[in-house]
Amino acid sequence: MNKVSFITIDEAHAGQRLDNFLISHLKGVPKSRIYRLLRKGEVRVNKARCKPDYRLELDDELRIPPIRVADAAPRPAHSGKLEWLEAAIIYEDDVLIAMNKPSGLAVHGGSGVSLGLIEALRQLRPEARFLELVHRLDRETSGLLLVAKKRSALLALHEQLRGTSVDKRYLALVKNPWQGKARMVEAPLLRSQTRSGERMVRVSEEGKVARSRIVPQQLFRGATLVEVRIYTGRTHQVRVHCAHEGHPIAGDDKYGDRGFNKSMAAAGLKRLFLHAARMHLTHPVTGKPLELDAPLPDDLVQVLDTMS
């Protein structure tokens, strides 16, 4: 394609996701290139930017920009298997990348993990001079993860995270119906290791200050979907605080309830039901508010649908 093209959506394509339509329409163009076009707003629907998961409607008008032949050329072999990672990027500018990390992926290699998210991202972007994790998520936890593209941005974001200006919120499915309204949990946490080297955290007066606010969102039979805002970033904080309040998180094999986990597995849950859903912060360069959201993954949505 060497010029702008316009497509009007007919009945055959109404209801299809925008990214899936583009993947099938732009045959030969790498998925990573398509998601990049969407992020930059070069693809427009009815003259407006749209997210990849937008559902096309009858008579929508798509604007597709020129795509040079060079852009459609195969990517290097080492990055071809990492195109899914490009699709996991939900925000990017000159200094920052926000990822929607899938569950089961470690943020970095080591401890028996040959390739973590940051190593994979560096392979995907071999031209990048600087890519560093701003913070971490447990391997089992999905959701928002920040990566800095410049050291100045990394230092500025670290400074924010050390304070209380960053608003970080998680969604979790916990055992038992929640009683009452929102609850502030202030329980200090102490880290330790077992003889086998496994990292454990427990509530202890000898531990570091840890504060979380747990807000019920939706009640189910024997469980509650809650939103947890953390004011401190301690290891396993959400998991331990929920368990401390008598509401262990579904699928948590370290701090959870075995019987509850078994019942949730029967409902289709195959992992820890904990997702970093929202983060509100100040952009490290512009100083403007930046609101980031990562929707609940399909596998967790399906579990909630099964329980409804």
**Residues that are catalytic:** 138
Structure tokens at 198: 């496994």
Burial (CB count <10 Å: 0-12, 13-18, 19+), residue 40: exposed
- Closest by Cα among 22, 29, 16, 83 to 55: 16
C-alpha R_g of the chain:
21
Q: Within 13 A of 196's CA, how many CA atoms are on the CB side? A: 3
> Using an 8 Å Cβ cutoff, are 168 and 141 in contact?
no
CA 137 to chain centre: 9
> What is the C-alpha separation between 206 and 87, in angstroms, rounded?
43
**What are 265's strand-pairing partners?**
none
Using DSSP bridges, classify how beta strands 142-148 and 96-101 pair: parallel, antiparallel or unpaired. Answer: antiparallel
Q: CA angle at residue 23 from 22 to 27, to 5 degrees?
A: 105
> Using an 8 Å Cβ cutoff, are 247 and 174 in contact?
yes
Using DSSP bridges, classify how beta strands 274-282 and 142-148 pair: parallel, antiparallel or unpaired. Answer: parallel
Structure tokens at 21: 């339509």
> What is the C-alpha separation between 215 and 223, in angstroms, rounded?
14
Residue 160's CB: how many other CB atoms inside 10 A? 14
